[in-house]
A and B are shown apart, each in its own frame.
Chain A
């Protein structure tokens, strides 16, 4: 089943890739490895040169090769490929299906929240030791307790340990000490440290993130090996990147450090794809209607909205920064039922739509009856509508219209809710409160299987223009292809204690400069960012950097300023490298 809902559009020539002779421009490849399909595109400047959708098989390598062969046909000069970017749901699926490795937790929470509150997904051992919010030691770490814990973990056959302390991002000494001790005793065990996984505040989230990073690392290496193998077999030697949940990319070879940052990169890929496929600067809602769920994302003034808090996965809260994507339980396969005189669409899936041989009527059947999709058997779709509407004396078309209307109402309501929730984000400064304003979208962009049937009505309910961009079925792969590499550095300086930390690197050191000020803080942060850029070999790609946060607090004790706290975040330019496909429809028509 190759997403046949789009066949109708495929017949219109403009939707297919442009059959023009290849120019001599640089080429970009984007590949989205989903649970069911692997999508791939080949871009040349702003043009889609080829696209493919192949089933994702158990043998990942063969799926990748198949996808490559469909987009890079004979005569395509592979040496002109400038960049290959992957996005994958692999880590997400591993976590959701709990197919990751066993990891023991060694945590140092010290005083604070009751330990009863913690409910981590594995054996957890609490070690005495505590650090405060400015990185000062409150309670020394007790290595004899570490020994006891390690003995227990060994007995239970754990070989991977995540070590996380409260406020370890302010001072990693305890975590480092425990790691050194562990390595001395069990040199072949794998040990993951909290401060290296996340520098953000929130200890329970750091514990979960570190646990997941540790538990998925080895499997993720397997994914990387398949990717590298596939590329080598097709003689592609361009730089390879992996898409992160926040829409940035990382060089593939360095990405094991950040494997969990690839969770939810699928929705990020679609959102970036839409950003690339729609005009610059729009405020739009991206509505990705799938079988079971509909994913909603916001593009505000041309930039995808980032979630203010880390991702939730399997009911565990993490530090993984994602685009603000909301998944609502409504899709083409949702179950429709008659309740009294009403026809209701439920948030669950019982199988395929009726017209495709499933057990229950679904919104897809309604679309089929209204001629908004060519999917499935028309007779069965009519039968499904009649099952619902017959006893009420409604025609099949009336039932279908009611169902479509129900789905559109539901999704439109969720979109409005998403905007209100975004307005409800906390603000900790006067200016932040004052600059809050109401923003509403001007366009609703539909992608995904069910988009064509619903998007016009959803847009009408929101007072927006509907858009189904060309290449919507492979928007995710396009998003991957155009995603920029992004690197960020967060610097924290405490001049009273003369220490500084680089959160992303898990690095801390003495501050040697005696006359430190805000400009020097920014310079120091930039220096570390360029160091990081060089480490990843991205000097050519990342030249422009911006300061995204700059905070200074005077430390005043007894009416005298004794020091300053600086929080500076610098990052390379975010977003997409270029837009895709506007001129194409003219060329291709």
Chain B
């Protein structure tokens, strides 16, 4: 019916939540966005439907994250609301009540990785990842694509889906050598079971809409077209804007809106963007109008004039070259000898160092993926987090994928039971996505918690 034409929005500016009073992620962040959106009267447009947010449950978060020690200790209500808002729009899109949606919410989430010891990059939990696994569990969605347009590499989202063949993650961002978190290079392409399901396009500082759209037209859109996802999410960070205080890129509101129109995502989820006066009111308005199929050509930053931003041809040429190489790699992805690239054997193993910039935590991880011939394989993460005051926290985390085979399922449970006996670990976890049951074990207290989640209706 008419619902097919509608765009849903959850606007949750969290006017009573901040990381700290002067932190960029503070109460004031979406204040002017509210002013602009309210004054324009866009929420009165018949094709835009505003929903109040709802709360995600601890169970929804356990489906994605290993929160150390427990979910309750790592999230605030604001996080539950931001994640819940994203899930609510996902539900409405799947049921056909709305055509697409915009989760204009804070706090953001795309730096939150699978294991969460604290806040990094202003993020505690990953809103998009929580939505993806919820859609798979609740609605049986198979293939999902996430396109991250934040100036910072979406390292959290990449980490969570690095071994997941059904989730395509594409991130373009300012070159990691010049900005937090320092990752997101073209050679980060996904694990042996999900090769080329992760694509990164680092951009030299100063690039404008022209290069932005070269990447979109020549890599993002063709790859999406090949991948044929059931659901497309845009991690809509707005810090590529020319006025952003943290980033050094030079995209415009019009550039973001054109991108939104071309990508035509099911859901846009706000990530970063800290030019709260000069960019956010205009970029958010433009994105919302683009999603709703409205004319956004009259949206313009007060200090913008055509021809203000000129592209650097040399840097632009380098980006084009990189885009062409990545596209070639994508086209040949099935011909790549994965065993040669990653090695064979029963397990693939890699080591990671993760720094939590907000909470000053240094984490070391050893990640082991079972190279199973009949499923994506279960994952074991051995995590050691140094909070800077001695006595690092150690956690042993086992994750079973949605489509685990019976053998992997059993092996993962065995690994969890073994982990519970191993000295040296404070916390042991088992995340069983296949049956939607999540275990956590506190060795010191010798106590186990099991989350079976709410019983599904119908």
Contact = CB atoms under 8 A, between A and B. Distances in A.
Given A116-B295, A431-B16, A203 B21 contact: no
B77 A430 contact: yes
Given A204-B44, A430-B77, A132 B302 contact: yes
A528 to B, nearest CB: 22
A561 B21 CA distance: 9
B14 interface: yes
A166 interface: yes
Interface string A406-429: 000000000000000001111111
B94 interface: no
B41 interface: yes
13 contacts: A111-B299, A111-B302, A132-B302, A133-B281, A134-B277, A201-B38, A203-B40, A428-B14, A430-B78, A431-B16, A433-B12, A555-B28, A556-B21
Contacts of A204: 41, 44
Given A428-B12, A433-B54, A433-B55, 5 more contacts: A112-B36, A112-B285, A115-B298, A430-B78, A554-B27
B36 A433 contact: no
B448 to A, nearest CB: 29
Contacts, number: 116
A308 to B, nearest CB: 11
Interface string A152-166: 000000000000001
B41 A114 contact: no
A117 B16 contact: no
A541 B277 CA distance: 43
Interface SS of chain B: helix, strand, loop or mixed?
loop
A39 to B, nearest CB: 34
B295 A553 contact: no
Nearest to B285: A112
A565 B276 CA distance: 14
B98 to A, nearest CB: 14
A394 B288 CA distance: 56
Contact of B38 (A202, A551, A561): A202
Interface in B278-329: 281, 285, 289, 294-300, 302
Contact of B22 (A111, A430, A560): A560
A310 B40 CA distance: 15
A547 B247 CA distance: 41
A201 B39 contact: yes
A425 B22 CA distance: 30
B71 interface: no
B294 A117 contact: yes
B81 interface: yes
A558 interface: yes
Interface string B23-46: 000111001101110111110110
Nearest to B295: A114
Nearest to B81: A433
Contact of B44 (A115, A317, A429): A317
A133 B15 contact: no
B454 interface: no
Contacts of A167: 35, 39
B40 A112 contact: yes
Interface residues of A, number: 42
A133 B41 contact: no
Contact of B77 (A133, A434, A553): A434
B230 to A, nearest CB: 28
Contacts of A130: 302
Contact of B52 (A117, A203, A427): A427
Given A427-B53, A430-B78, A202 B39 contact: yes
B439 interface: no
B11 interface: yes
A195 interface: no
Contacts of A203: 39-41
Contacts of A201: 35, 38-39
Contacts of A26: none
A339 interface: no
A441 B219 CA distance: 57
Interface string A118-142: 0000000000001011100010000
Interface string A536-568: 000000000000000101111011110001000
Given A554-B21, A554-B26, A112 B78 contact: no
